[in-house]
Amino acid sequence: MLRTCRKRPAPSPSSDMRYFLRAGSAVAAVLLLVTLTGCKDEALDPDDYIKLGQYKGLSVERSSYEVTEEELQDELDMLANAYAEPDGTVPELTDDFIRHISEGKYEDLAAYTAALEEEMKSEYDEFYDLQYYEDLWNMAVDNAEVIKDFPQEFLQKKTERSLISARKYAQSLDMSFEDFVDQKMGMTVEEFNKEAIDYAEVAAKESMVCAAIAKAENITVSDEDIEKAIKEYVDLGAFSSEEEFRKEGPERMEELKEYILMSKVQDFLAEEANDKDQGER
């Protein structure tokens, strides 16, 4: 597919960065394993801290989107402008032009436009699927009740992870942490640090809800799950090789396990949900 950069929904960041990032911020860190809430803590029993509410059979509306003619035309205009002559002359999007620049992949403009519309629709569907999973997860968390204060050391760990996560995110954007906080988030470092402390309670509850559901439903992470996830991150370009990932050390491996467990719990919620668009199962 011949593509140019265009505006489209960005993938939702995971919970740590979702709390901090404001609308319109780039989510380049999706390729970096730095935004994990965490779903497991061997020293704490989630049943001591969380009383689960309803998490099965949740009903959330799944949004959908149809690509508009205006969006298609904007994309076609950007394609034409990408091939503008040095004097600024923009080529006409004829069938011959499409065949030439696609090296025969598309027979005419109509074929290219149809393929473009399908790809754009697929991308929007992917975004709304991510939103659907997030809505289900947020509902499950909201339905749960904290029945005991979290230990201070547990909250401190969540605060530190958020700060480390944000610094790694800034690094992925080739920005200093100070510039990232100022330019991308519109706050001072002091304000950010305070929000990180406040967020620790949110992250702690999410961790315990995840762990409680996993315990109740016997959801675990296997060695095969881990190997598959490492390969996927390498394929995405987050790491140059599996060996490079393993050099990150046990802390990174533990984060990966937590990420996988969270994903499996959210998959379970989706499997058990009543999709309003599809009716109750």
List CB contacts of 90: < 8 A, sequence separation 6 or more: 80, 81, 83, 84
Out of 3-17, 155-169, 218-232, least confident range: 3-17
Contact 273, 59 (CB under 8 A): yes
Distance CA(145)–CA(155), nearest Å, equals 17
Give the per-residue pLDDT at 164.
Answer: 83
The per-residue pLDDT for range 80-117, each reduced to its tens digit, is 999 999 888 999 999 999 999 999 999 999 999 999 99
Contact 240, 15 (CB under 8 A): no
DSSP string for residues in 131-172:
HHHHHHHHHHHHH-EE-SPPPHHHHHHHHHHHHHHHHHHHHH
Tokens at 148, concatenated: 């005991």
Q: How many percent of the chain have pLDDT more than 90?
A: 39
| Mean of the per-residue pLDDT values of the chain | 80
Out of 33-47, 153-167, 237-251, least confident range: 33-47
Instruction: Tell me: pLDDT of 37 over 70.
Output: no
Report all structural domains of the chain as residue ranges with CATH numbers, in order of start. Answer: 15-61+130-275 (1.10.3120.10)
How many CB atoms lie under 10 A from the CB of residue 116? 20
Give residue 62's pLDDT band: very low, low, confident or very high (50, 70, 90): confident
Give residue 23's pLDDT band: very low, low, confident or very high (50, 70, 90): very low
Distance CA(154)–CA(41), nearest Å, equals 9
Instruction: Tell me: pLDDT of 280 over 80.
Output: no
- Taking the complete model, does pTM exceed 0.75, yes or no? no
Tokens at 28, concatenated: 């380049």
Distance CA(38)–CA(265), nearest Å, equals 12
The per-residue pLDDT for range 241-271, each reduced to its tens digit, is 888 888 777 777 887 888 889 989 999 999 9
